[in-house]
Amino acid sequence: MKNFTLFILCLLTAGMVSAQGDISGICDAVTTTTSQDAGIGWDDCAGGMYIGTVEFEATIDDPNLYNVYTIEPTGVAGKLNDMSFGGFYPCYGTDSQGGMPNSAPVFLFFQVGEAGVLGYTGVSQWGEVFSVSDITMVEDSLNFQWTNDYGEGAMVMLVRQDGQYWEQLFGITSIAEVSQIESLSINPNPINSGDNFIVSIDLYESIDMNLQLIDITGKTVHNQLVKATEGNNEISVNSQSLNSGMYFVKLSSENGVTTKKIVIQ
């Protein structure tokens, strides 16, 4: 049984990440539950995945504090306060909104600190201490892992629907694109786990590139050197050893980096 205690401030330093702009907005979310060991009847839920939509809403009193809403999860209309970014729904079901952290009359906020920190602050009805780690940003995608001291946790990937780059919102200069690439596509996308997918690259001129496949925690799960020639190049990549989820295909050369998303079902 969860006992009520006050939630304490818990922030994690995240390198050179500091807010320069308003991160309010709607994002496509992929949240994968990594642990669910609260001991309250919803154990053994690791691996559950929420695919949906979340929204950041700036608070009136402090522009660095944001409410987080999960929008219309399965079986529920409207938007619900949910600091788990949908991570609770695969385990708890959609009839437990009254027990979600951040539900009235208590408050729990996602915080963007001035000194380069991301985290949580506030009070929940059970007093979980939340923290974030493994923060990476790739263009319009923000990736991190949240955990709390009740043994719950999830990996989160948020893709902004307005197309803004998280690096720009957080004041980080974006890296130049690979200038030799005329077009880049991935087929099929999404794919079934275990299948091969084709990275098709049209180039203005021949170039050596590094092709990486990166998961939502920022871990490189595939790496190969590509000696690409002018015109069309097709590189086959096998997903046999990969779990379901969203990944980034990253192509890098000495003059830039280009990325593309792929979903493995």
Selection from 134, 135, 133, 142 nearest residue 169 by Cα? 142
Residue 178, token pair as written in the block: 């690979």
Q: Can you list the domains of the chain with their CATH numbers?
A: 10-169 (2.40.160), 181-264 (2.60.40.1930)
Residue 47 is predicted with a pLDDT of 81
Residue 94, token pair as written in the block? 């959609």
Mean pLDDT of 105-127: 66
Alpha-helical runs (H) found in 117-232: 166-169
Residue 152 gets which letter from DSSP? E
First to last CA, the chain: 35
In three-state secondary structure terms, 73 is coil
Report the percentage of the chain scoring pLDDT > 90.
13
The pLDDT tens digits of the residues spanning 208-219 come to 988 988 776 567
Per the model's pLDDT, the better-predicted residue between 178 and 159 turns out to be 159
16 or 253: which leads in pLDDT: 253
